[in-house]
Structure 1
Amino acid sequence: MAAYAVHMMEEFSFNWRDWARAVIKLPVEWGDFYVTNAVVIVLGIAQAFLAPTLAVAPLGFASLMAMNAIFFHILPVIVTKGRFSPGLFTAVVLFLPVAWVVWARAIEDGQVDAKTATIAILGAALLMAYPIVMLHLRSRPYFRQT
């Protein structure tokens, strides 16, 4: 959670919203950023409580962090030939190492089998995709509340 808190500060400080609109074409507002990150905090707290009895919870959260780092920070910098992605520093310095350590510890403790790994990774991918899908769906006539 500490890594995510610092990451959110970096994204906010370097105007992630405008970067996301310009570079990855997300129709995002600051309110979306706040709500999504509030959900991440709740999920982070929940996975910490579940960790002793449900290994898939911290593995899913660690996978979410790694996917965020790779797909929303590192790859966009590569694709745009170096354009800075707000959150890049903490994604590389915190998210990837934390995700690695969580997975390594779970493997070392014998908590990872194929089913657990699959559920953790697929669950993280779905969690990563969910707010993006919602952002795109809300502009459709059926979902407009006007």
Structure 2
Amino acid sequence: MSIGFETWAWLGLLAYTLHIMEEFSFDWRDWARAVIGLPVEWADFYVTNAAVIVLGFAQAEMARLLPIAPLVFAALMLINATFFHALPMIFTRGRFSPGTFTAVVLFYPVAIGTYCAAAAEGLLTTGMLLGSLVGGALLMAYPVAMLRLRGRPYFRQAP
């Protein structure tokens, strides 16, 4: 018995929830500041990850109606695992990136399973694949861009 597309979407939410717990437990904020130079605070971490959980519920609920949503979520997991965990660990010669365990053990298999299930159910076209990768990249870039922009004078709200 194979796992269906909708089930993979729900597994994506579960994987991301466990990933957030790992990042928090092993102090992803300080790692991100030291290794990739993100000016991130814990409040940023909480708000961004709360949004990811809401997106996770939404994409799983919309799997049949809007199959691009779980595919974008799967792409987000692949991009996060690769560019914020696996590659930084390689470039820092093994310095642990909080979230790497769940990224490797959960994100890669669940994301690939989501794409495979979509293909098996006839939902994955070239356009859906490319659209999901672009959507996942935009979702990953959005909070990073906000972190970078908020320090600019135009965006400061202080009197």
Do they fold alike, i.e. is TM over 0.5? Answer: yes
Question: Partner residue of 1:23?
Answer: 35
Mind listing any 5+ residue stretches in structure 1 that lack a counterpart? none
Residue ranges of structure 2 left out of the alignment (5+ in a row): 1-12
Q: Which structure 2 residues correspond to residues 50-61 of structure 1 after superposition, within 5 A?
A: 50-61=62-73
AA aligned to 2:144 is I
1:36 paired to 2:45: no
2:128 to 112, 116, 121: 116
CA apart distance, 1:114: 1.4
Task: Determine the structure 2 residue equivalent to 1:131.
Answer: 143
- Secondary structure at 2:102's aligned position in 1? helix
TM-score for the superposition, normalised by structure 2: 0.90
Q: Partners in 2 of 1:123 and 1:4 — Cα distance?
A: 17
Q: Match of 2:101, as an amino acid?
A: F
Distance (Å, rounded) in 2 between the aligned partners of 1:124 and 1:11: 20
Match in the other structure for 2:84? 72
Give the whole-Å Cα distance in 2 for the aligned partners of 1:61 and 1:67: 10
After superposition, the C-alpha distances for 1:66-124 in whole angstroms (9 at most, x for unaligned) are: 11100000000000000000000000000000001000000111101111111111011
Instruction: Please give the alpha-carbon distance, in whole angstroms, between the structure 1 residues aligned to 2:71 and 2:14.
Output: 16
The equivalent of 1:7 in structure 2 is: 19
- Per the TM alignment, residue 5 of structure 1 is displaced from its structure 2 partner at its CA by 1.1
CA distance in 1, matches of 2:17, 2:69: 19
The two structures, once aligned, show a CA RMSD in angstroms of 0.6
- When normalised by structure 1's length, the TM-score is 0.98
* Equivalent position of 1:48 in the other structure: 60
For residues 58 and 143 of structure 1, what CA distance do their matches in structure 2 show? 33
Secondary structure of 1:145's partner?
Answer: coil
Identical aligned residues as a percent: 63
1:94 is the counterpart of 2:106: yes
Counterparts of 1:145 and 1:53 in 2: how far apart (Å)?
A: 40
Amino acid at match of 2:66: L
Count of residues paired in the alignment: 146
SS in 2 for 1:127: helix
2:17 aligned partner, one-letter code = A
Mapped to 2, the partners of 1:43 and 1:12 lie a distance apart of 19
